[in-house]
Amino acid sequence: MPNATKGPPRDHLDWPFFDESHRALAKDLDSFVADAGLDGVDHGNVDAACRHLVAALGTAGLLRHCVPKAFGGASEEIDSRVLCLVRETLAYADGLADFAFAMQGLGTGAISLSGTPALKERILPKVAAGEWISAFALSEPDAGSDVAAMACAARRDGDDFVLDGEKTWISNGGIADVYTVFARTGEAPGTRGISAFVVFADTPGFTIAERIETIAPHPLARIRFENCRIPAAQRLGSPGEGFKIAMRTLDIFRPSVAAAATGFARRALDEAVAHAKSRKMFSATLSDLPTAQSTLGEMATAIDAAALLTCRTAWRRDVQKLPTTREAAMAKMTATENAQWVIDQALQLFGGRGVRTGEITERLYREIRALRIYEGATEVQKLIIGRELMKDAAR
Q: Which residues are catalytic?
A: 375
Distance, in Å, from the CA atom of 343 to the CA atom of 335, rounded to the nearest integer, reads: 12
Distance, in Å, from the CA atom of 172 to the CA atom of 205, rounded to the nearest integer, reads: 18
H or E segment at 232? none
175 in Cβ contact with 47 (< 8 Å): yes
- Name the region of 38 (left: φ>0; alpha: ψ -120 to 50; beta: rest): alpha
Distance, in Å, from the CA atom of 34 to the CA atom of 152, rounded to the nearest integer, reads: 43
For 279, counting Cβ atoms within 10 Å of its Cβ (0-12 exposed, 13-18 middle, 19+ buried), the class is middle
62 in Cβ contact with 50 (< 8 Å): no
345 in Cβ contact with 295 (< 8 Å): yes
C-alpha of 324 from chain center: 17
What residue spans of 115-208 are helical by DSSP H? Answer: 117-128
Torsion, Cα 358 84 272 354, to 10 degrees, reads 30
3-state helix, strand, coil in the chain (%, to 5): 60, 15, 25
How far, CA to CA in Å, does 62 sit from each of 1, 100, 116, 134, 318? 27, 11, 24, 15, 19
Distance, in Å, from the CA atom of 357 to the CA atom of 321, rounded to the nearest integer, reads: 45
